[in-house]
Amino acid sequence: MKIYEQTAAKLSKLLQKKEVSSVEVVQSFLDRIELIEPYLKSFITHTPAMALDMASTVDNRRAGGEKLHPLAGVPIAIKDNISTRGLRTTCASRILENYIPPYDATVVETLKQVGMPLLGKTNMDEFAMGSSTENSAFYPSRNPWNLERVPGGSSGGSAVAVSSGMAPLALGSDTGGSIRQPASLCGLTGLRPTYGRVSRYGLIAFASSLDQIGTLSLTALDSAMLMNVISGYDLFDSTTLSEPVPDYTVFPEEGIKKLKVGVIKENISEDFDPEVTAAVMKNIALLKESGAEVDEVSLPLIDYGLGAYYLIAPSEASSNLGRYDGVRYGFNAGGESIDDMFSATRGRGFGPEVKRRIMIGTYALSAGYFDAYYLQAMKVRTMIRREYEAAFKRFDILVGATTPTPAFKIDEKIDDPLQMYLSDICNITDSLAGVPSLSIPSGISSGGLPLGMQLTASPLKEGLLLKVAGFLERERGHLPLRPKVKLPEGGEV
């Protein structure tokens, strides 16, 4: 048995039965990282000593008879825009290249309390702005299913780590699809929770009204176990919700009879790759055969979501990133005057995509344009939320494709921002509405690339999404969970 090939749920059982130790589990993933990380570039910062130290502590506590959390000893990787006390947190940006936070994000503090060893901080698009992880200031990550393809973004490093067997679980952040899109392109289960279900305290801000921490995993059960850890109210985050957290791992046995499923017309468009649409329709047919009531639903405002998002998110980014000026913390380029210092610091510290979005946002918020752009985008956002509310009066869940195509080639879209933005077309309106959304594997393309299907529910219905995802996993049988990584010099591991 190769430990790194196991799901988090399987590792949990092995650890609780004391068939393996946490140190053995962590070491298996560290060995895997050493073998394939040079080809995939999933991590920015590695923390092997920290992981082994936590694993040893967990083993000692378990040996002493202490009752531990089911995920105690199961390691995890964390996106590099989530603060970790005493450990470099860069946002994949030169402006924070040497920043060491003095505090832990709430989710990190919770993971430590549970006893989950941290394997490292994962690569991402700079400040979470991108859909391919090519906008990292350090290097692009590569899709383990095909090293010439992107893994998606902005949580691409987290997706690569789980997909390739370098971590059993990972945390990402999702602003406009940054968990779900890489989950789809890497064949994973990726959950963006309801806005406010998981604390954002310690998540370095991109667009505060949209950012949400979520999970990347191999299965629905793995995601449910991690959601049990990170969900809940937080005094440090005024946007968190106070509703009780259910046990997400309880999947009712009655199946999905009478479940009302709405197939989003706009998210199975004839403009999408035919294999993507065929895979989604195959899973929809499985739901229908199993007793679900399936009907088509149109959400016409999806066509306006992209425009609204790319006014709201850059506007909030323009405000949030104003703090990086070389004075308070982060990179300082120096200069003969304070204006020179500001200009040089931001000019050299930020990458092209971050600068582009700051400029769009600053323009949209400027005097004379605020009403015409930002305010209008916020009105569209309200209309989108109401459209979802109306849809959920008819349906329990909404389904469609996660992405229009399988993973595209590295460098294929990097010089065409509009085409890059369109890769998130299926994800953005869920983010604007603040509803939970889950991407699950739906098939494999003829070219051997994963395809994804997106499930969306009304606020706080993450449990329903995970239930349906778990049902589909059982009914169709697991798709290949992880690829064999084909090395450039030949062979595969």
Q: What's the confidence (pLDDT) of residue 251? A: 74
Mean pLDDT, all residues of the chain:
96
CA angle 256, 257, 261 (to 5 degrees): 70
Q: Which amino acid belongs to residue 369?
A: Y
Please tell me the distance from the alpha carbon of residue 104 to that of residue 324, in angstroms, as a whole number. Answer: 20
Q: What's the confidence (pLDDT) of residue 481? A: 75
Q: Is the pLDDT of residue 482 over 90?
A: no
Model confidence band, residue 71 (pLDDT cutoffs 50, 70, 90): very high
Q: Is the pLDDT of residue 103 over 90?
A: yes
Q: Is 44 a domain residue? A: yes
Q: Is the pLDDT of residue 211 over 80?
A: yes
Q: Is 482 a domain residue? A: no
Q: Which amino acid belongs to residue 38?
A: P
Q: Is the pLDDT of residue 422 over 90?
A: no
Q: Is the pLDDT of residue 379 over 70?
A: yes
- Helix residue ranges per DSSP H, 274-371: 274-289, 302-320, 338-349, 352-365
Q: Pairing state of beta strands 76-79 and 260-264?
A: unpaired
Dihedrals phi, psi of 52, to nearest 5 degrees: -70, -35
Tokens of 463: 């449990």
Mean pLDDT of 103-124: 98
Please tell me the distance from the alpha carbon of residue 123 to that of residue 92, in angstroms, as a whole number. Answer: 6
> Tens of pLDDT along 214-264?
999 999 999 999 999 999 999 999 999 999 999 999 876 667 888 999 999
Please tell me the distance from the alpha carbon of residue 418 to that of residue 30, in angstroms, as a whole number. Answer: 38
Burial of 475 (0-12, 13-18, 19+ CB in 10 A): middle
Q: Which domain holds residue 209?
A: 3-259+437-476
Q: What's the confidence (pLDDT) of residue 256? A: 85
User: Which range has the worst mean pLDDT, 275-284, 314-323, 328-337, 357-366?
Assistant: 328-337
Mean pLDDT of 197-218: 98
Q: Is 100 a domain residue? A: yes
Q: Is the pLDDT of residue 480 over 70?
A: no
Q: What's the confidence (pLDDT) of residue 167? A: 98
Tell me the whole-structure pTM to 2 decimals. 0.97
> Tens of pLDDT along 121-155?
999 999 999 999 999 999 999 999 999 999 999 99
Model confidence band, residue 381 (pLDDT cutoffs 50, 70, 90): very high
> Tens of pLDDT along 272-295?
999 999 999 999 999 999 999 999
Q: Is the pLDDT of residue 488 over 90?
A: no
Structural domains of the chain, count: 1
Q: Is 371 a domain residue? A: no
Tokens of 212: 């949400």
Model confidence band, residue 19 (pLDDT cutoffs 50, 70, 90): very high
Q: Is 415 a domain residue? A: no
Q: What's the confidence (pLDDT) of residue 338? A: 92
Q: Pairing state of beta strands 170-174 and 118-122?
A: unpaired
Q: Is the pLDDT of residue 36 over 80?
A: yes
Q: Is 339 a domain residue? A: no
CATH assignment of the domain containing 116: 3.90.1300.10
List active site positions: 79, 154, 178
C-alpha of 80 from chain center: 12
- How many Cβ atoms are within 10 Å of 113's Cβ, its own excluded? 11
Q: Is 276 a domain residue? A: no
Q: Is 155 a domain residue? A: yes
Q: Is the pLDDT of residue 442 over 80?
A: yes
Q: Is the Cα torsion angle 241, 249, 465, 230 positive or negative in sign?
A: positive
